Structure 1
Amino acid sequence: MKSVLEADDREGVAFLRCETRSLKGGAPVYWLCDIVRRLDVIDEEKSIVEVLDDGTDFRRYDNMTTSGYAFREEAIGSAHIFRPRFLEQWIIYDQAMKDACKAAGVRGLNFGYAYGNYKGLHP
């Protein structure tokens, strides 16, 4: 998965090698991954969204209410994977990223349904 994510969008991800040990020797290599690109992509005028803590450093969107998000495509640019500002618990990816993961046989991912006008969202 590391090689797929780095090949498809190196600027959007960061990895940290984990220290692993095995009593039998030859411990496997594991990596922690973070989606580090944060983009201000939510078009609030076109979205159905409730803003919480507006005007503070803790501004966020209420995920407990029915929401519909419209994204500003120009803010996404050529990014294949990112976290939207104020919804940073979500990871957004495009069809190219999804296809690359599937083609490489990456397992254990849950590709969610696209909400709004962007093709890939997984809370």
Structure 2
Amino acid sequence: MTVSPGKKRPRRPEAVARKRKFYRVDPYRSGGDGFSFELENEKELPSGLERISGLAETPRILFSPSAARRPRDLAPLWYAWLISDRTKAVFESVDPNGFVFAPCTVRVRKGTWDGPPYWLCQVVRVLDALDEGRSRSNIGIDDDRRKLTFGRKYHEFFGRRELVFREDLIGDAHIFRMAHDDSCEICDDDLKNACKSAGLKIYFTDVLNDR
């Protein structure tokens, strides 16, 4: 392009920052393939696996597959997930500070387990990043004195939920639990795409179209 003397060169348009997409990790769909397992030493571990960091005893997982089917890469186990070794590798590569892991001992009812290691996993980062004014949610304060959550804010979602998050509060995090709905783990498209590229069988639901 020729620029006449005395004229300023047109400014190039500034690069538009990529807007991240966010997804809810769906452990029940991810682990809903009919493969059953149980935690053999449940009574020796924290109730509901609310905390898996620094366990005094190694979790013992008994796989009870029908035929020779192996478990998926992520399955719910109370407040934790049971994940495959390759899932752990992806999680650590994308967001090493977002998770805590506990190794498991695995056995099967007949024979010897010859598969890869399995782990208990929890998302440890909790963020209060929901844009409440732009999201579809019901916000309230727990008034049940019998509950440990008495006096705390909560979010309830009815039917289709639409969640909008403030990126300035998320920063460079790729996964987090919602501060007022800590059973809901949210990840961005970087983590989702890394899981898909690795061939992991994990389901993700778009938070703007979550039915």
Q: Structure 2: which amino acid aligns with 1:78?
A: D
What is the aligned partner in structure 2 of residue 40 from structure 1? 128
2: CA distance between counterparts of 1:65 and 1:21? Answer: 40
Unmatched segments (≥5 aa) in structure 1 = none
What is the aligned partner in structure 2 of residue 101 from structure 1? 195
The yes-or-no answer on 1:8 pairing with 2:102 is no
Identity %: 33
What is the root-mean-square deviation in Å for CA atoms of aligned residues?
Answer: 2.6
Structure 1 range deviating more: 74-83 or 63-72? 63-72
SS at match of 1:79: coil
Higher strand share: 2
| Greater Rg by CA | 2
Structure 1 residues 38 and 26, CA, compared in 2 at 3 Å: closer, same or farther? same
Q: TM-score normalized by structure 2? A: 0.48
Q: Structure 2: which amino acid aligns with 1:77?
A: G
| Cα drift, residue 36 of structure 1 | 1.3
Structure 1 residues 114 and 65, CA, compared in 2 at 3 Å: closer, same or farther? closer
| Cα drift, residue 65 of structure 1 | 6.0
| Cα drift, residue 66 of structure 1 | 5.6
What is the aligned partner in structure 2 of residue 113 from structure 1? 206
Q: Structure 1: which amino acid aligns with 2:163?
A: Y
Q: TM-score normalized by structure 1? A: 0.78
2: CA distance between counterparts of 1:114 and 1:66? Answer: 10
SS at match of 2:181: coil
Count the aligned residue pairs: 117
SS at match of 1:42: coil
Q: Is the 8 A contact 1:50 1:65 kept in 2?
A: no
2: CA distance between counterparts of 1:11 and 1:78? Answer: 11
Unmatched segments (≥5 aa) in structure 2 = 1-86, 144-149
- Give runs of aligned pairs for residues 59-98 of structure 1, distance below 5 A: 59-64=153-158, 67-98=161-192
What is the aligned partner in structure 2 of residue 30 from structure 1? 118
